[in-house]
Structure 1
Amino acid sequence: MDTYVDFDQLSPEKPVSPSASPEQVLHEVFGYESFRPLQGDIVRELVSGGNALVLMPTGGGKSLCYQIPAMVRPGTGVVISPLIALMQDQVAALQQVGVRAAFLNSTMGMEQAMDAENALLRGELDLLYCAPERLLQPRTLSLLEDASLSLFAIDEAHCVSQWGHDFRSDYLGLSILAERFADVPRIALTATADERTRKEIAERLSLTEARHFISGFDRPNIQYRIAPKTNANKQLLDFIAAEHPDDSGIVYCMSRNKVDATARLLQQKGYTALPYHAGLGSDERAHNQERFLREDGVIVVATIAFGMGIDKPDVRFVAHLDLPKSLEAYYQETGRAGRDGNPSTAWMVYGLQDVIKLRQMLEGSQGNDTFKRVERQKMDAMLGLCEITTCRRQALLRYFGDQMEQPCGNCDTCLTPPETWDGTDAVRKALSCVYRTGQRFGVNYVIDVLRGSDNERIRQSGHQALSTWGIGTELSANQWKSVFRQLVANGYLRADPEGYGALQLTEICRPVLRGEVSLELRKDPERKMTRRSGGDSQRRSQTISDPAGWEALRKKRKELADEQGVPPFVIFHDTTLMELLDQRPASLREMSEISGVGSAKLERYGETFLAVLSSLPVSHNATESTNIPVEPADLSEK
């Protein structure tokens, strides 16, 4: 990515007067009329000199919580961000609205870095972004001690947690901020943290006495769907073709090889699909991410190395072809869909081999017993979400300490309630067969024994003489796989930690084998899952009466974005274009009333878009109209 700061174009003056209120900055700079819930409270806490720990879902508007206080308070706000691409995109977006922003990172030459440092010392920056490893260098710390600072913002604060899914060791050193800059307000922000992780963030960053602001975790525009894995590639292709053929999306896979293979498969089917994983060169990764951010309809197939801090508002789906390790990881990854508030899908397929592989990886890891116990709990919670028969959203929110009184009506278990069946007899047969075969075989072999297969391997082992041979002919092989998947997911069976996938009994299966308890199992659907169908209140599509005018505005926006090397949504969001088309402002004064048009963008783009509007036919009411999904204002910078 080649986005750099042109320091010659930065104004030495703040874009707002020193006495401006947060509400004035919100309106005059960012072009919005009011704060979202909690935003105003967080901003006022920082402006008054307080510290804060903020948990707010992706797309909820975390960035404005520190950007506006940094502009209102004297001095420069320092933002610690773990990703170079993220900080460069945020700086580019801030410069569009006239904010004096810069970054310090490894992509810069010595001259560029010196320019940023000198601008900081001269007090000519509102915000300076840097990575934690850069900030912790003695030279950077000395530089900051010589500068006037308004606040420190620690973004993606869950990276400080050693129990978390995105641990970064450099984040542990950020406790130095409380020691060396005790008088500078600090704010830590994240979208994903359970109670354990929140406590660890507060302790490690010396924020135990800070005010904690916890917004609801619900993302109502995202539909959560989880299906048994039968043929993952076909299931993915069917899903994209039926519901998101022209949309941007992310597909997560566990391994690099699977990422490459899946990207090739999608390319062969005509999709613009790009791989992303740590095995690719840094230039290729940066190029693929750049295309994803700036082009429409691009699908990135990635390992978990991709996605943190991605600001693209119109990602319509996130698909998982492998099981995430925890609900924190699942929530973080699926949260990259639908930042604009429009209907989006979190789609996943998983199977028994996913469970076995993850459990083997955990048991074979070098972690101590405490680490493994915590990770087992996280994995069990993830499996529980997969096998649940009630509302998935309620279960997901409950994990993070959030409550939803009624089922959401927008997840697969709400839209198509799963059937259950009394699986007690089948479970006892399955467990008995694992025991009789010596707990030395994988699931496919045990199923062959249950179904009475007469193959060479069974004949060689002599297992056709077992009492469990052929006692399970009433179920198909796929039905037995469902039984075993649920037994492993619920802890009645485990995979041999030494490898080879051999199934072994656990202590909790004893009451089942003795006939003391009964078990209800989830019945896997035999038909395709119901396509996404949210309520009208969640579908924010609008009828565009002038499609030609809409395309003219989008074309001009794309031209301006390409000229500056920024994503189109950095110029104006779809909602702003829609309001321009509906209101048809004829002057700069009228255009200033459009949501998302701040003073800097009005000056920079006002005449250009007014010219486009004036060239359109006078009548709004075209004879034909079309439904085009329109992004609401993406307030991710809010």
Structure 2
Amino acid sequence: MNSKEVDLHKALKKYFGFNNFKGLQEDVITSIIQGSDTFVIMPTGGGKSLCYQLPALVKDGTAIVVSPLIALMKNQVDAIRGISDNKGIAHVLNSSLNKTEVAQVKSDIENGITKLLYVAPESLIKEEYIDFLKSQNISFVAIDEAHCISEWGHDFRPEYRNLRAIIEKIDNVPLIGLTATATQKVQDDIIKTLGMSNAKTFKASFNRPNLFYDVRPKTKNIEGDIIRFIRQHTGKSGIIYCLSRKKVEEIAQLLQVNGIKAVPYHAGLDAKTRAKHQDMFLMEDVDVVVATIAFGMGIDKPDVRFVIHHDIPKSLESYYQETGRAGRDGGEGYCLAYYAYKDIEKLEKFLSGKPIAEQEIGNALLQEVVGYAETSMSRRKYLLHYFGEDFDEVNGLGAEMDDNVKNPKKKHEAKDELKKLLEVVRDTNQKYKAKELVNTLIGKVNALLKSHKTDTQPFFGSGKNHEGFYWMALIRQALVAGYIRKEIEQYGVVKITDKGLDYIKNPVSFLMTEDHQYEEDDTTNVVTNEKGGGAAADETLVKLLKDLQKSVAKKHGVPPYAVFQEMSLEDMALKYPITMDELKNIYGVGEGKASKFGKPFIQLISKYVEENDVMRPDDFVVKSTGVNSGLKLFIIQNTDRKIPLQDIAKSKGLTFSELIEEMQRIVYSGTKINIDYCIDELLDEDQQEEIFEYFMESENDRIQDALDEFDGEYDDEELRLMRIKFISQVAN
């Protein structure tokens, strides 16, 4: 053991109190101390910041750390100041300082007190700072969150692109680039842009064996599902990520109303509130932070026990980084994401206003997210493959920590199909993305395929015996198995590998699983049970409730669905309500419905629970925030005043169809609304009577069935408004 190693271990113990380095830390630190350009890819929780903090403390001069977030800098500066008697050992230089504070920072650097100077890239551009730093003894420059340099990275910051030129103006010192997540494409981009082609590269494994990955379909009952999940993890810290500020506020409020200690965090809150909420989370005054991605980059809380994605993120890098905030101490970390393809479509729409190149990148990244959410193979293997790492899904660390592995789908032989897929990739000259390959296989013509005359080829439609989603699943699994690869430069064009060409000549057994299909309608009654799987409604009870629904309907002279909707019955068979209060919390049941029809249903369920020894979920009651009740009151008052519906919608910032949905919700849960004044303008008496009779005699209240029945005589809106009138009069 040479003296330098001993010194490093002594320094580690002296400054940070650790006896041993973690993973690649020692090699990275040695490289920096030796003055080499160094590039570090190390997942969150791997001890990345220590890689530049320790060399800064032992080397002469001041190290500059470029960081994109003020919160992150503040945390790190506080941590470093905690290991020294002199507050000046670490400083921040950014827009939050006044003139006196800036003068103090400069004085400490000149006097050799400051070892670490944290700077935002925007501050580094300022001529006065460049001139000052030029004349100082700088030990090295570390660029944290270096993926911000790459437009392929998930946090691209244009000002990061000019860092190399600015650093050269200051001094010719070693450069350290650090990132917690980077695909090969992003790594190459960082090295090229920072001009550090000779850098020593250190890449730690991206596998976080203690994290459990779970993706669930996003259903109408998502809020109840989240509350139930948090209650099963009472007293534990967690983060919920949402894409919009509005959703953050809604969910935070909902959790508070349901007795969960939660606060919101997003860029729309003032700095003081944000800092306060962050501190409350760190000090454990609250359990849950509901946040946009503005939160967490600077959070060094080791015991976050769960990370929930209410909305699926825009890229797998974001997802990896956000889930990486769970279980940083090596303890339990549950990563739960809710997925609906509708959310992906929203994000695609959002991209459509951007420049073409940006759209292409954004869409390519989104498709990777879709692949991860819909895949039925080991999620860990899929994720690690995305970051260029092989994973042994049988013996690898954390192999079983994954919903797909815990509940595996059946595999089947796909040797012939894989061969066919690889031949199509080869025979279309490797110029198509996954979607076009699928269209070629199932024989679906589009302009692009036509322009290349692919639709005239003998293999066009050769995979018609399977659905499109089957081929998409096979493409994803062939990618991970290394038979094909995606050409990132060409935004996801699929190329065949040498391994794939060999396979065509010598096919061997290939077992595949079909992807999950998250259909909205199939999953509306799914909630979670203790084990983290899905729990379905009690089918026997559903049958009994349906019989009761029919007899109650007969007694009142109304169609069965006017008593309770099918989804309400399924929710009852899931939650077993035995009091009026519990019944009011069932999907689609309000006070009016409960008091008019509820009694026999509660009696039936109580008897059933007792006779069958049913364990009732005692935590299912989810209180609403009252946001909707305010809107409900507004709609009822304004329809009473006969205000035109368009005006009511406008004043609440709703589209007309959103208003109709709200009104449906109100009448289906048992409250009357009188909208005769608006229906009278649309339909005469005979027309109204005809539609009313249809709903009275129909077995269900589906609008599509009504549209088919009347064959274009009435439009969607007219039928919806009449259904509201019908339910309001007959069922409430």
Same fold, TM exceeding 0.5? Answer: yes
- 2:250 equivalent in structure 1: 261
**Compared with structure 1, are the counterparts of its residues 341 and 214 closer, same or farther at alpha carbon in structure 2 (3 Å cutoff)?**
same
Aligned ranges 1:220-239 → 2 under 5 Å: 220-230=209-219, 231-239=221-229
Pairwise CA distance, 1:308: 1.5
Alignment of 1:70 onto 2:56: yes
Q: Distance in 2 between matches of 1:34 and 1:217?
A: 21
Pairwise CA distance, 1:186: 1.3
Alignment of 1:417 onto 2:424: no
Q: Provide the secondary structure at the position in 2 that maps to 1:61.
A: coil
- 1:498 equivalent in structure 2: none
**Compared with structure 1, are the counterparts of its residues 275 and 356 closer, same or farther at alpha carbon in structure 2 (3 Å cutoff)?**
same
**Compared with structure 1, are the counterparts of its residues 286 and 488 closer, same or farther at alpha carbon in structure 2 (3 Å cutoff)?**
farther
Q: Distance in 2 between matches of 1:490 and 1:388?
A: 18
Q: 1:515 aligns with which of 464, 483, 501?
A: 464
CA contact (8 A) 1:420 1:522 kept: no
**Compared with structure 1, are the counterparts of its residues 107 and 138 closer, same or farther at alpha carbon in structure 2 (3 Å cutoff)?**
same
Q: Provide the secondary structure at the position in 1 that maps to 2:16.
A: coil
- 1:450 equivalent in structure 2: none
AA aligned to 1:387 is: E
**Compared with structure 1, are the counterparts of its residues 148 and 372 closer, same or farther at alpha carbon in structure 2 (3 Å cutoff)?**
same
Q: Distance in 2 between matches of 1:413 and 1:490?
A: 26
Q: Which has the bigger relative contact order, CA under 8 A and spacing at least 6?
A: 1
Pairwise CA distance, 1:18: 12
Q: Provide the secondary structure at the position in 2 that maps to 1:348.
A: strand
- 2:69 equivalent in structure 1: 83
- 1:310 equivalent in structure 2: 299
Alignment of 1:143 onto 2:132: yes
AA aligned to 2:66 is: I
Q: Distance in 2 between matches of 1:271 and 1:161?
A: 39
AA aligned to 1:139 is: E
Q: Distance in 2 between matches of 1:19 and 1:398?
A: 35
Q: Distance in 2 between matches of 1:256 and 1:505?
A: 38
Pairwise CA distance, 1:60: 0.1
Percent of residue pairs bearing the same amino acid type = 40
- 2:354 equivalent in structure 1: 366
Q: Give the structure with the larger helix fraction.
A: 2
Give CA deviations for 1:364-401 in whole Å, capped at 9, x if unaligned: 22221x33232222111111111111110010000000
AA aligned to 1:31 is: G
Q: 1:156 aligns with which of 127, 134, 145?
A: 145
Q: Distance in 2 between matches of 1:411 and 1:261?
A: 29
Q: Provide the secondary structure at the position in 2 that maps to 1:57.
A: coil
Give CA deviations for 1:581-612 in whole Å, capped at 9, x if unaligned: xxxxxxxxxxxxxxxxxxxxxxxxxxxxxxxx
AA aligned to 2:132 is: L
CA contact (8 A) 1:79 1:128 kept: yes
Pairwise CA distance, 1:489: 14
Pairwise CA distance, 1:521: 4.9
Q: Distance in 1 between matches of 2:402 and 2:132?
A: 51
Alignment of 1:43 onto 2:29: yes
**Compared with structure 1, are the counterparts of its residues 269 and 53 closer, same or farther at alpha carbon in structure 2 (3 Å cutoff)?**
same
Pairwise CA distance, 1:71: 1.6
**Compared with structure 1, are the counterparts of its residues 490 and 339 closer, same or farther at alpha carbon in structure 2 (3 Å cutoff)?**
farther
CA contact (8 A) 2:56 2:139 kept: yes
**Compared with structure 1, are the counterparts of its residues 515 and 110 closer, same or farther at alpha carbon in structure 2 (3 Å cutoff)?**
same
Q: Distance in 2 between matches of 1:507 and 1:410?
A: 41
Q: 1:52 aligns with which of 23, 38, 56?
A: 38
Q: Distance in 1 between matches of 2:205 and 2:531?
A: 27
Q: Distance in 1 between matches of 2:341 and 2:242?
A: 16
Q: Distance in 2 between matches of 1:55 and 1:75?
A: 25
Q: Distance in 2 between matches of 1:492 and 1:279?
A: 43
Alignment of 1:277 onto 2:263: no
Give CA deviations for 1:320-362 in whole Å, capped at 9, x if unaligned: 1111111011111111111111111110111131122122222
Aligned ranges 1:148-187 → 2 under 5 Å: 148-187=137-176
Q: Which runs of 5+ in 1 are unaligned?
A: 1-16, 423-486, 494-503, 534-638
- 2:231 equivalent in structure 1: 241
- 2:679 equivalent in structure 1: none
Pairwise CA distance, 1:490: 11
AA aligned to 1:515 is: K
Alignment of 1:29 onto 2:18: no
TM-score of the pair, normalised by structure 1: 0.64
**Compared with structure 1, are the counterparts of its residues 515 and 18 closer, same or farther at alpha carbon in structure 2 (3 Å cutoff)?**
closer
- 2:282 equivalent in structure 1: 293
Q: 2:342 aligns with which of 338, 353, 356?
A: 353
- Paired residues in the alignment total 440
**Compared with structure 1, are the counterparts of its residues 492 and 328 closer, same or farther at alpha carbon in structure 2 (3 Å cutoff)?**
farther
Deviates more, 1:515-524 or 1:332-341: 515-524
Q: Distance in 2 between matches of 1:178 and 1:416?
A: 52
Pairwise CA distance, 1:124: 1.0
Pairwise CA distance, 1:187: 0.5
AA aligned to 1:517 is: H
Q: Provide the secondary structure at the position in 2 that maps to 1:60.
A: coil
Give CA deviations for 1:398-435 in whole Å, capped at 9, x if unaligned: 0000111124100111112245899xxxxxxxxxxxxx
Aligned ranges 1:439-454 → 2 under 5 Å: none
Deviates more, 1:409-418 or 1:372-381: 372-381
Q: Distance in 2 between matches of 1:506 and 1:312?
A: 52
- 1:331 equivalent in structure 2: 320
Q: Which has the larger radius of gyration?
A: 2
AA aligned to 1:528 is: T
Q: Which runs of 5+ in 2 are unaligned?
A: 414-433, 471-513, 534-732
**Compared with structure 1, are the counterparts of its residues 514 and 67 closer, same or farther at alpha carbon in structure 2 (3 Å cutoff)?**
closer
CA contact (8 A) 2:263 2:286 kept: no
**Compared with structure 1, are the counterparts of its residues 181 and 386 closer, same or farther at alpha carbon in structure 2 (3 Å cutoff)?**
same
Structure 1 ranges of 4+ moved more than 6 A: 17-20, 487-493, 504-514
Q: 1:405 aligns with which of 359, 380, 392?
A: 392
Pairwise CA distance, 1:281: 2.2
Give CA deviations for 1:454-504 in whole Å, capped at 9, x if unaligned: xxxxxxxxxxxxxxxxxxxxxxxxxxxxxxxxx9999879xxxxxxxxxx9
Q: 2:382 aligns with which of 395, 414, 418?
A: 395
- 1:528 equivalent in structure 2: 528
CA contact (8 A) 2:215 2:339 kept: yes
Pairwise CA distance, 1:301: 1.0
